[in-house]
């Protein structure tokens, strides 16, 4: 699975307690500790006794670089009170996996081990990622407990459906570490686009020649998806009109697939009413075959001539609406970036355009871009696409007219 979140520093300086209760999903908590650390978090693992019987504290110490805790009274803790020492300055507690038993203890306010004590004594947000067998999840007692936690303002992340360690299939799987990191990133991201609606296009279009062939381009969709994720984390309502790519759907994003330029245009215009921002990242084919053959074209050995007609320019059409949203274009050029980028921005009457030189080819995880707007050109340092996306969102939020 593509992971573009692991390299940005969205949790830098955040002190996160990672609670691990008893369940086979505890093995994924080790990966989670590592992912949180990569995002810059200061991770402190606290295991229940049952959690420690699945994965040892030593694993978490090695991955987090911090002492991992289990008991309430620990040797070496000042005054023997780790819940007091640990409890200072915590930015969030994430319990993953949260077993049915731990959830029941939380719901009733038990404080009979270090993790439940920390949760009860907290002054920070608490996130809980349930992980259990399908029947345990569906049991009315668990559902009652979950409702209690939600009513207490505790964020419930998941569970997901799928194959379970016990051999059953259904709801109860712990969310993957990526999704849990995403929830924390979204929580801590400044809500620069709160109350705004953003429509984006991403990926390539495919213009069919016959039922099995067509013309397309090498766009990976990664930059558009990273931007959609950044807009969602910034609090926007996000509609992503995506060409055919196999990228995971970012949290909080509504995705509609569109294959050809004409379909993409239709989906964009269906989504655009009420939009504050339109970001066109898709590499739209400028031309499509005059006609698509109904049946597969057979080889004859003779040269084939195809005729193409221009596709509509989706971005230019949106920008030409009587009351257009704030329109952002993208331009990938092989030379003369400044001239072409500024030329496109003016020709399509865009307040902002993001340009990049195709020096490294397409499809990478990093990008070097220049933002062009009415105040001039702003080169950004080479960085992972998620990081670039966050900076583009900041610039958009700065330039966006007040609601
Ligand atoms: N775009 C669009 N619809 C099209 C073509 C382009 O919405 N039919 C958008 C792209 O998503 C991008 C911007 O317009 O944000 C610039 O795309 P690009 O293909 O680089 O520009 P063109 O105007 O098509 O110029 P050229 O292909 O000649 O470089």
**Burial of 184 (C-beta count, 10 Å sphere; 0-12/13-18/19+):** buried
Cα separation, 44 vs 303, whole angstroms? 67
- 190-399 under CATH 3.40.50.10300, yes or no: yes
Predicted TM-score (pTM) of this structure? 0.84
235 close to ligand 1 (CB < 6 Angstrom): no
Nearest-atom number in ligand 1 for the CA of 328 is 15
261 lines ligand 1 (CB under 6 A): yes
Pocket test for ligand 1, best of 283, 329, 356, 357 (most atoms within 8 A of CB): 329
Does residue 325's CB lie within 6 angstroms of at least one atom of ligand 1? Answer: no
- 10 Å Cβ neighbour count for 349? 12
> At the top level of CATH, which class does the domain 15-187 belong to?
alpha beta
CA distance 62 to 75: 19
Quick check: 61 and 67 in contact, CB under 8 A? yes
- 317 Cβ below 6 A of ligand 1: no
| 106-to-17, 148, 273, 315 alpha-carbon distances in Å | 16, 9, 44, 51
Lowest mean per-residue pLDDT among 73-87, 218-232, 279-293: 73-87
How high is the pLDDT of residue 360? 66
Which residue's CA is the closest to the ligand 1 atom numbered 9? 315
Catalytic residue among 124, 166, 181, 327: 166
Q: Kindly report, residue by residue over 89-136, the tens digit of the pLDDT.
A: 999 999 999 999 999 999 999 999 999 999 999 999 999 999 999 999
Which residues make beta-bridge pairs with 200? 240, 279
> What's the rounded Cα separation, in Å, for the pair 93 and 373?
41
260 in Cβ contact with 275 (< 8 Å): no
Helices and strands (H, E) in the chain, number of each type: 14, 21
Nearest CA to ligand 1 atom 17: 331
Q: Closest ligand 1 atom, CA of 330?
A: 15
Does the beta carbon of 315 sit less than 6 angstroms from any atom of ligand 1?
yes
pLDDT for the residue 5: 43
Position in ligand 1 atom list of the atom nearest CA 286: 8
Task: Evaluate: CB of 314 within 6 angstroms of ligand 1.
Answer: yes
> Where do the CATH 3.40.50.1950 domains begin and end in the chain?
15-187
Convert the pLDDT of each residue in 205-247 to its tens digit.
Answer: 999 999 999 999 999 999 999 999 999 999 999 999 999 999 9
Least confident of 76-80, 224-228, 369-373, 383-387: 76-80
Distance 331 CA to ligand 1 centre (A): 7
Q: Is 327 a residue of the active site?
A: no
Nearest CA to ligand 1 atom 24: 286
Residue 354: CB within 6 Å of ligand 1?
A: no
Domain with CATH 3.40.50.10300 in the chain: 190-399
- Name the residue with the closest Cα to ligand 1, atom 4: 313
Give the residue whose CA is nearest to atom 23 of ligand 1: 344
Question: Residue 323: is its pLDDT beyond 80?
Answer: yes
Q: What is the pLDDT of residues 164-203, one digit of tens each?
A: 787 888 899 999 999 999 899 999 999 999 999 999 999 9
344 CB within 6 A, ligand 1? yes
Whole-angstrom distance, CA of residue 298 vs CA of residue 167: 49
Instruction: Check pocket membership of 311 for ligand 1, CB cut-off 6 A.
Output: yes
| Cα-to-centroid distance, 203 and ligand 1 (Å) | 12
Name the residue of 280, 317, 334 whose CB sits within 8 Å of the most ligand 1 atoms, as the mutation to test its pocket: 280
């Amino acid at each position: 699975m593509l992971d573009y979140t692991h390299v940005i520093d969205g949790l830098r300086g955040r002190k996160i307690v990672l609670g691990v209760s008893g369940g086979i999903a505890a093995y994924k908590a080790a990966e989670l500790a590592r992912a949180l650390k990569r995002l810059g978090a200061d991770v402190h693992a606290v295991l229940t006794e049952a959690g420690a019987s699945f994965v040892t504290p030593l694993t978490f110490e090695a991955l987090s670089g911090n002492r991992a805790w289990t008991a309430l009274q620990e040797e070496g803790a000042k005054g023997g009170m780790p819940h007091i020492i640990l409890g200072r300055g915590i930015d969030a507690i994430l319990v993953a996996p949260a077993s049915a038993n731990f959830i029941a203890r939380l719901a009733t306010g038990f404080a009979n081990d270090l993790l439940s004590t920390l949760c009860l004594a907290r002054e920070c947000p608490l996130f809980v990622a349930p992980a259990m067998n399908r029947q345990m999840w569906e049991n009315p007692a668990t559902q009652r407990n979950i409702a209690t936690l939600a009513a207490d303002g505790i964020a419930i992340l998941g569970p997901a459906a799928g194959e379970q360690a016990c051999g059953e299939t259904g709801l109860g799987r712990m969310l993957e570490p990526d999704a849990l990191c995403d929830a924390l990133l979204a929580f801590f991201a400044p809500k620069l686009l709160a109350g705004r609606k953003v429509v984006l296009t991403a990926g390539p279009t495919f213009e069919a020649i016959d039922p099995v062939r067509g013309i397309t381009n090498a766009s990976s969709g990664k930059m558009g998806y990273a931007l959609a994720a950044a807009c969602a984390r910034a609090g926007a309502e996000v509609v992503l009109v995506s060409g055919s790519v196999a990228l995971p759907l970012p949290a909080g994003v509504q995705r509609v697939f569109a294959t050809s330029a004409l379909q993409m245009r239709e989906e964009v215009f269906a989504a655009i009413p009420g939009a504050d921002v339109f970001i066109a990242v898709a590499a739209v084919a400028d031309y499509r075959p005059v006609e698509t053959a109904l049946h597969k074209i057979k080889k004859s050995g003779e040269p084939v001539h195809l005729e193409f007609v221009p596709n509509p320019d989706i971005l230019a059409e949106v920008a030409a609406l009587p009351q257009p949203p704030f329109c952002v274009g993208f331009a990938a050029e092989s030379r003369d970036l400044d001239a072409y980028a500024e030329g496109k921005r003016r020709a399509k009457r865009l307040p902002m355009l993001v340009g990049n030189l195709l020096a490294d080819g397409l499809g990478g995880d990093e990008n070097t871009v220049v933002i062009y707007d009415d105040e001039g050109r702003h080169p950004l340092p080479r960085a992972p696409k998620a990081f670039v996306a966050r900076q583009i969102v900041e610039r958009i939020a700065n330039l966006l007219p007040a609601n």
